[in-house]
């Protein structure tokens, strides 16, 4: 069941694809997200945790137009963004793992780990969009769930970055020892 996903990531994994994904990952927060018109308020999904009171204050600060813009962003470009940056991480992992373990395919399963980031990010987005949609009513249970998924997303990102750093360090050490 996982083999087609690994095969797909393996087929697209190249430096040009990685660079294209990284460029897209930079364009989202610098060009696309600001184009939604939310303003200068720090998005909730950049925090590790947030409380129902913090979300309520955030939504008040956004104003009616900002809340409408936020819902639009959360359900469109912010659903695509996690796919882009997670695929960049998966491709980077695959490139390093192929170098580190050229004859063993089992470690390549690690390149699927970033897909957990996508799921957590989507759950976060859906939760925050739902809370924003019902504002000024409070949906504290949904806020807590969204905050949990935000924390999970950041944890998965950190684990993926650590895997990538560890794999890269091992590969570089292997290259140095081979000389």
- Write out pLDDT tens, residues 121-176: 999 999 999 999 999 999 999 999 999 999 999 999 999 999 999 999 999 998 88
Cα dist from 116 to 10, 50, 64, 107, 156, whole Å: 18, 21, 32, 17, 7
Q: Residue range 88-109: average pLDDT?
A: 89
Bond from prior residue into 136 cis (ω within 30 degrees of 0): yes
Q: Is 163 among the domain residues? A: yes
Task: Give yes or no for a contact between 9 and 89, defined as CB atoms under 8 angstroms apart.
Answer: no
Range of the domain at 50: 3-172
> Nearest Cα to 6, choosing from 74, 86, 102, 107?
107
Task: Give yes or no for a contact between 50 and 44, defined as CB atoms under 8 angstroms apart.
Answer: yes
Q: Is 178 among the domain residues? A: no
Note the pLDDT tens digit of each residue in 44-89: 999 999 999 999 999 999 999 999 999 999 999 999 999 999 999 9
> Nearest Cα to 161, choosing from 86, 79, 82, 99?
86
What is the residue whose two structure tokens read 């580190």? Answer: 100
Q: Is 54 among the domain residues? A: yes
List phi, psi (to 5°) of 126.
Answer: -65, -40
pTM of the model: 0.92
Q: Is 12 among the domain residues? A: yes
Q: Is 179 among the domain residues? A: no
Rounded Cα–Cα distance for residues 47 and 99 (Å):
35
- In the DSSP assignment, the letter for residue 108 is G
Q: Which residues lie closer than 8 Å to 5 by C-beta, 6 or more apart?
A: 112, 115
Total number of domains in the chain: 1
Confidence label for 40 from pLDDT (cuts 50, 70 and 90): confident
């Amino acid at each position: 069941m996982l083999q087609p996903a690994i095969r797909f990531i393996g087929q697209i994994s190249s430096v040009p694809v990685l660079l294209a994904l990284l460029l897209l990952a930079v364009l989202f927060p610098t060009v696309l997200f600001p184009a939604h018109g939310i303003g200068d308020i720090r998005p909730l999904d950049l925090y590790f945790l947030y409380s129902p009171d913090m979300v309520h204050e955030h939504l008040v600060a956004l104003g009616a137009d900002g809340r409408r813009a936020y819902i639009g962003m959360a359900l469109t470009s912010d659903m695509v963004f996690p796919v882009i940056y997670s695929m960049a991480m998966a491709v980077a992992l695959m490139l390093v793992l192929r170098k580190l373990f050229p004859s063993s395919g089992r470690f390549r399963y690690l390149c699927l780990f970033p897909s957990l980031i996508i799921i957590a990010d989507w759950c976060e987005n859906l939760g925050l969009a739902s809370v924003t949609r019902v504002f000024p009513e409070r949906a504290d249970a949904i806020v807590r769930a969204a905050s949990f998924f935000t924390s999970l997303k950041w944890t998965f990102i950190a684990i993926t970055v650590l895997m990538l750093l560890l794999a890269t360090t091992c590969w570089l050490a292997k290259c140095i020892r081979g000389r």
